[in-house]
Amino acid sequence: MSGRIVSVFAWAVLLGVAMPSLAQKGDPTEKYPAPPAGFDKRRDGIDHGKLETVEYDSTTVGGKRKARVYTPPGYSKDRTYPVLYLLHGIGGDENEWARGGTPDVILDNLYADKMAAPMIVVLPNGRASKDVTAKDPIPKQSPAFAVFEKELLTDLIPFVEKTYPVKAGRESRAIAGLSMGGGQSLNFGLGNLDTFAWVGGFSSAPNTKKPDDLIKDHADAAKKLKLLYVACGDKDGLFRISEGVHKMLDEKKVPHEYRVIPGGGHDFKVWKSDLHHFARLVFREVDAEKKDGGK
């Protein structure tokens, strides 16, 4: 993690990102308190989901690509599930969340406590390229991060919806991510509201579009979004990016959840906490429909 964090902060310095100010009085630091102790620790005596590696054909880059897929406890092909596409940071790949963020454990625990809607979670490699890796210089990686939008829409989502029993449709798709993946999630999610209704940016990085460029039609976004979650630690060197997005959304009257983590840095302590809260909010309406008799 240390090497990746250094890379992100180097990127921030190169792009002239200001160091963070302290969360101002009145910032939302209490609506989303720290998760309970043990929220990210594997529990015995509860049902567990499954985390597997899959390969899909990418017409975008021309070849096979890997992703990790989490299926929830009690997974059955006789029902359909919403899908969360969960993206990694600049130094990671499809394994980063599993390696540092224990998403399967966090979700297993939420399901055991009946605090989240069952969902499939897809953990892709957000670097759409045959040969570019996390070890390459940031300028070489950046185009691959942008190209991933096309691959996600034209290759990965169709593969998931053909392979798994998922409920297709924008209201059953979410996208969220950390750091660079947070920027991708805001860019891709807000740029494709006919595909995603639930969007989350955790400590979004400088690849995030300028606030005024994120949303073309603010009234349409306000109508279509089921959830827009923007969060960052107030000790994070990238704090002003999330703060700028929040201010734009407030000004344009786009409903959203804004979370400032007191003392939070640019690390998995923050991002695991964000996943815990985001997973509790996402797909709640979809889950209620199923309980009412929908499939």
Q: What is the pLDDT tens value at each position of the chain, 295 positions in all? A: 434 443 443 444 333 333 333 333 344 556 898 999 999 999 999 999 999 999 999 999 999 999 999 999 999 999 999 999 999 999 999 999 999 999 999 999 999 999 999 999 999 999 999 888 888 998 899 999 999 999 999 999 999 999 999 999 999 999 999 999 999 999 999 999 999 999 999 999 999 999 999 999 999 999 999 999 999 999 999 999 999 999 999 999 999 999 999 999 999 999 999 999 999 999 986 444 444 444 3
Rounded to 5 degrees, what are φ and ψ at 87?
-100, 150
Decide if 38 is inside a domain: no
Decide if 25 is inside a domain: no
Which residue has 């009145």 as its token pair?
26
Contact 54, 160 (CB under 8 A): no
Check residue 7 and give its pLDDT: 43
Contact 112, 46 (CB under 8 A): yes
Decide if 36 is inside a domain: no
CA distances from 290 to 79, 166, 279 (A): 9, 13, 17
- Kindly state the tokens that stand for 131: 């040969």
Decide if 26 is inside a domain: no
- Kindly state the tokens that stand for 171: 């209201």
Going by the DSSP 8-state scheme, the letter that residue 237 receives in this structure is: T
Check residue 67 and give its pLDDT: 98
Decide if 45 is inside a domain: no
Decide if 247 is inside a domain: yes
Decide if 44 is inside a domain: no
Range(s) of the domain holding residue 223: 2-20+53-291
**Considering its fold, how many domains does the chain have in total?**
1
Contact 208, 186 (CB under 8 A): yes
Decide if 30 is inside a domain: no
- CATH at residue 115: 3.40.50.1820
Comparing CA positions, the residue from 220, 274, 210 lying closest to residue 245 is 210
Q: Give the pTM.
A: 0.88
